[in-house]
């Protein structure tokens, strides 16, 4: 696991030494991703530079140093990630008489040999792994960027500057790109809208104008002679899902579970290869417990496992992880974190995540990554089990809800929604409290008017896709919140995606695999872990597992209300059912309570009306009204406010004292 950056095109300097000085400055911002080694390569004649920071995991010797040249020296590669089947690829190269004289045993060298033999596209199609890379072809003078199939590893790119001074920047994190003197720092207000809606900025967008994220499963090529980037897709999750639904597995339940067990076991085995200590995150849930069980079944020594616990019982899963670890015989470490200790990390979150990111589970994720890094260099994760095996409760909830309301005509439902919203939340609260035990059971808790207003939004939905967008949105109309913005089109808010043959629940799973998983979950884990120089691996995202999961009939995922049915059957072969069967918990923190209590002063400073107006990004009145309602306990706006606070914190950290000055010119143009 590493980080890389670079540029192609003009710089404000001339000569190799000046280019290298810029490159070194950019690469230094990625030191946390690779503290073990750094390398730099420049070709001043063609205006291309590659910088690399190395976290040594496979082949700790100097033979793994990057940027690395292929044996004939046609290709120069900067690579981040792991190719789990690289030894098999070496065997194939050797069997075909295409292998060079190997200098070491790194997967980077294997990739380069593959590029020489099969081309870049032919090699990545053969590779099993997670990766992002930049490779310069000296023969064609072309730069190619590549990203893994699902999007485990990040990669930003884009042209900055004008005319002959324009430069194509790329890298693992925005921190590196910002260090280039041509970087323009223009905030994309449309991308900010997306963060307000989803708590993250989905690919291909980034928080900066002119800078994009490379989509998963894609290769991009660019050159000085052909500056418009060309993108080709070498693997499509959408096509894999469609093919799985068209041609489902027909071997019966027992054979399906056997096959899934074998595929997962093989994926875990391949990902356990490392030249540094290896462990796993363990929450005690189905996904992480399955990964750990398969690790321990293939390990001669106790696997190191790590859990974070909270003293607030509603947020604590550590006790469940402890029971699973005891049964499997792992070398388990848990750390109970006080609320005060967790809150101390909040101001640092913006630096960890590099661009605005507001999934509040970012905090416990960062804490467990720090814990694991004390003992291991690689940690396995159970992410993606929910998306592949129908684990999220919202899937069944949305389907039930839609069945209940779909029979009523849309105009009638929208009329009812308007009537509900026409009565203030506080008025509904007073009326329903007055009814006491005669009020509907679902409306007897605190803030029943808040629930009614949210339910009105569901009533007004024209279809299940719109309903699901509402369920996964925070701010319903972020373009009204962000001054001068238009919300960009995504898979979720644009025309309904074409997922032929899928029912409503399968559509939600497909959308999550294409959006929520790579744009939120994988970003959160990558940034939290790499901030402390920890490599994470996700066995469920072996593309062979993904392809098979989508061939499983839906009844083997959701069976009579039981989610993850096939995956549970695999787990029960290693862990007793009694240790697993319990209500699903989220990996979160009590954000709402903290904002009313110990984080109040921090939030108040970031949400000060004069500050919001001076910066010019948000409608200050809209933000403040929600802040006042939240503080008074009239409404629970914790997620809406956390979205704004994480942007405000990021803006402060990215621009420092110049934050207001940077924002003011743009704000002046909009008013």
- Render pLDDT for 338-347 as a digit per residue (tens, 0 to 9): 878 888 899 8
Q: b/e map of 199-236 (b: 16 or more CB within 10 Å)?
A: bbbbbbbbbbbebbbbbbbbbbbbbeeeeebeeeebbe
3-state secondary structure of 117: helix
Same domain? 19 vs 66: yes
Same domain? 386 vs 399: no
366 CB contacts (<8 Å, ≥6 apart)?
A: 345, 349, 352, 528, 531
User: Cβ(279)–Cβ(380) under 8 Å?
Assistant: yes
What mean pLDDT comes out for the span 473-480?
94
Q: Round to whole Å and give the CA distance between 629 and 638.
A: 11
What mean pLDDT comes out for the span 1-14?
77
Same domain? 435 vs 317: no
Which has the closest alpha carbon to 376: 152, 522, 526, 529?
Answer: 529
Verify whether residue 42 is a known catalytic residue: no
> What per-residue confidence (pLDDT) applies to 25?
95
Which has the closest alpha carbon to 587: 398, 390, 383?
Answer: 383
Cis-peptide, bond into residue 335, ω within 30° of zero: no
Q: Which residue has the higher pLDDT, 655 or 288?
A: 288
Beta bridge partners of 52: 4, 39
Q: Is residue 586 part of a domain?
A: no
Mind listing the pLDDT tens digit for each residue in 619-666? 999 999 999 999 998 888 999 999 999 999 999 988 754 333 444 333
> What per-residue confidence (pLDDT) applies to 355?
95
14 CB contacts (<8 Å, ≥6 apart)?
A: none
Domain boundary among 449, 475, 509: 509
Q: What are phi and psi of 115, to 5 degrees?
A: -60, -40
> What per-residue confidence (pLDDT) applies to 606?
97
Cα distances (angstroms) measured from residue 647 to each of 592, 631, 641: 17, 20, 10
Domain boundary among 212, 235, 258: 235
Same domain? 43 vs 170: yes
Same domain? 572 vs 609: no
Same domain? 272 vs 158: no
Least confident residue range of 40-44, 444-448, 546-550, 634-638:
444-448
Same domain? 226 vs 312: no
Q: Is residue 637 part of a domain?
A: yes
Mind listing the pLDDT tens digit for each residue in 394-403? 999 899 888 8
> What per-residue confidence (pLDDT) applies to 586?
58
User: Cβ(199)–Cβ(358) under 8 Å?
Assistant: yes
Mind listing the pLDDT tens digit for each residue in 90-119? 999 999 999 999 999 999 999 999 999 999
Tokens of 74: 């046609």
- Residue 138 banded pLDDT, cuts 50, 70, 90: very high
Which has the closest alpha carbon to 606: 342, 337, 340, 349?
Answer: 349
Same domain? 99 vs 220: yes
Mind listing the pLDDT tens digit for each residue in 408-447? 888 888 888 888 888 877 788 778 777 777 777 667 666 6
Same domain? 90 vs 224: yes
The residue annotated as part of the active site, out of 2, 42, 193, 218, is 2
Mind listing the pLDDT tens digit for each residue in 484-496? 999 999 999 887 7
Q: Is residue 514 part of a domain?
A: no
Same domain? 422 vs 551: no
Domain boundary among 213, 235, 257: 235
pLDDT greater than 70 at residue 10: no
- Distance in angstroms between the alpha carbons of the first and the last residue of the chain: 46
What mean pLDDT comes out for the span 217-233?
96
| Counted domains in the chain | 4
- Check which CATH number belongs to the domain holding 59 and give it: 3.60.20.10
Average pLDDT of every residue of the chain: 91
Give the domain extent around 615.
591-670
Q: Is residue 573 part of a domain?
A: yes
Q: Round to whole Å and give the CA distance between 318 and 321.
A: 5
Q: Is residue 600 part of a domain?
A: yes
Q: Round to whole Å and give the CA distance between 563 and 107.
A: 37
Q: Is residue 621 part of a domain?
A: yes
- Check which CATH number belongs to the domain holding 251 and give it: 3.40.50.620
417 CB contacts (<8 Å, ≥6 apart)?
A: 456, 457, 459, 460
Q: What is the 3-state secondary structure (H, E, C) of 3-43?
A: EEEEEEECCCCCCHHHHHHHHHHHHHCCHHHCECEEEEEEE
Same domain? 231 vs 274: no
> What per-residue confidence (pLDDT) applies to 585?
60
Which has the closest alpha carbon to 87: 111, 64, 70, 55?
Answer: 111
pLDDT greater than 60 at residue 669: no
User: Cβ(78)–Cβ(141) under 8 Å?
Assistant: no
- To the nearest whole percent, how much of the chain has pLDDT over 90? 71
Beta bridge partners of 133: 79, 146
Q: Is residue 562 part of a domain?
A: yes
Same domain? 402 vs 431: yes
């Amino acid at each position: 696991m590493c980080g890389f950056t670079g540029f192609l095109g003009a710089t404000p300097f001339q000569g190799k030494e000046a280019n290298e000085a810029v490159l070194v400055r950019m690469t230094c911002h990625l030191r946390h991703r690779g503290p073990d080694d750094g390398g730099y390569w420049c070709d001043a004649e063609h205006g291309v530079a590659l910088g690399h920071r190395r976290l040594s995991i496979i082949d700790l010797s100097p033979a793994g140093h990057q940027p690395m040249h292929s044996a004939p020296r046609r290709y120069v590669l900067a690579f981040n990630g792991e190719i789990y089947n690289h030894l098999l690829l070496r065997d194939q190269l050797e069997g075909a008489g295409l292998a060079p004289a190997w200098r070491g045993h790194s997967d980077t060298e294997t990739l380069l040999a593959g590029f020489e033999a099969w081309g870049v596209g032919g090699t990545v199609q053969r590779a099993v792994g997670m990766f992002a890379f930049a490779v310069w072809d000296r023969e064609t003078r072309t730069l190619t960027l590549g990203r893994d199939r699902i999007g485990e590893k990040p990669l930003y790119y884009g042209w900055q500057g004008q005319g002959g001074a324009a430069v194509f920047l790329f890298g693992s994190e925005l921190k590196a790109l910002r260090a280039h003197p041509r970087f323009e720092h223009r905030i994309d207000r449309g991308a900010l809208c997306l963060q307000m809606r989803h708590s993250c900025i989905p690919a291909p967008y980034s928080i900066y104008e002119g800078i994009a994220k490379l989509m998963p499963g894609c290769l991009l090529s660019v050159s000085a002679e052909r500056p418009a980037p060309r993108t080709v897709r070498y693997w499509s999750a959408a096509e894999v899902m469609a093919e799985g639904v068209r041609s489902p597995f027909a071997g019966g339940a027992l054979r399906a579970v056997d096959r899934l067990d074998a595929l997962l076991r093989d994926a875990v085995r391949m990902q356990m290869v490392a030249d540094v200590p290896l462990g796993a995150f363990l929450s005690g849930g189905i996904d992480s417990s399955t990964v750990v069980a398969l690790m321990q079944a293939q390990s001669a020594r106790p696997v190191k496992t790590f859990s974070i616990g909270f003293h607030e019982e509603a947020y604590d899963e550590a006790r469940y992880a402890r029971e699973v670890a005891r049964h499997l015989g792992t070398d388990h470490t848990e750390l109970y974190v006080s609320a005060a200790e967790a809150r101390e990390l909040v101001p640092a979150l913006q630096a960890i995540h590099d661009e605005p990111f507001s999934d509040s589970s970012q905090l416990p994720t960062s804490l467990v990554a720090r814990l694991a890094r004390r003992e291991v260099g690689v940690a396995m994760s159970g992410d993606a089990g929910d998306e592949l095996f129908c684990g999220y409760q919202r899937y069944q909830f949305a389907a039930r809800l839609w069945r209940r309301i779909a029979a009523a005509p849309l105009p009638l439902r929208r009329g009812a929604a308007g009537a509900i919203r026409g009565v203030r939340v506080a008025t509904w609260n007073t009326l329903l409290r007055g009814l006491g035990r005669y009020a509907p059971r679902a409306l007897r808790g605190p803030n029943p008017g808040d629930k009614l207003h949210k339910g009105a939004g569901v009533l007004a939905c024209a279809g299940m896709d719109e309903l699901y967008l509402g369920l996964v949105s925070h701010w319903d109309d972020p373009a009204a919140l962000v001054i001068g913005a238009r919300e960009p089109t995504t898979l979720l808010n644009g025309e309904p995606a074409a997922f032929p043959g899928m029912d409503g629940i399968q559509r939600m799973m497909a959308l999550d695999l294409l959006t929520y998983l790579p744009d939120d979950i994988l970003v959160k884990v990558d940034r939290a872990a790499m901030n402390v120089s920890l490599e994470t691996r996700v066995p469920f995202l072996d593309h062979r597992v993904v392809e098979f999961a989508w061939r499983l009939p839906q009844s083997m995922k959701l069976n009579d209300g039981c989610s993850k049915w096939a995956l549970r059957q695999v787990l029960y072969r290693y862990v007793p059912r009694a240790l697993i069967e319990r209500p699903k918990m989220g990996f979160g923190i009590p954000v709402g309570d903290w904002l009313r209590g110990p984080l109040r002063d921090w939030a108040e400073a970031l949400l000060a009306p004069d500050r919001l107006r001076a910066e010019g990004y948000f409608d200050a009145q809209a933000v403040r009204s929600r802040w006042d309602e939240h503080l008074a306990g009239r409404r629970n706006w914790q997620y809406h406010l956390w979205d704004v606070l994480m942007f405000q914190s990021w803006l402060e950290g990215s621009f420092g004292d110049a934050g207001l000055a940077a924002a003011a010119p743009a704000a002046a143009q909009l008013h």
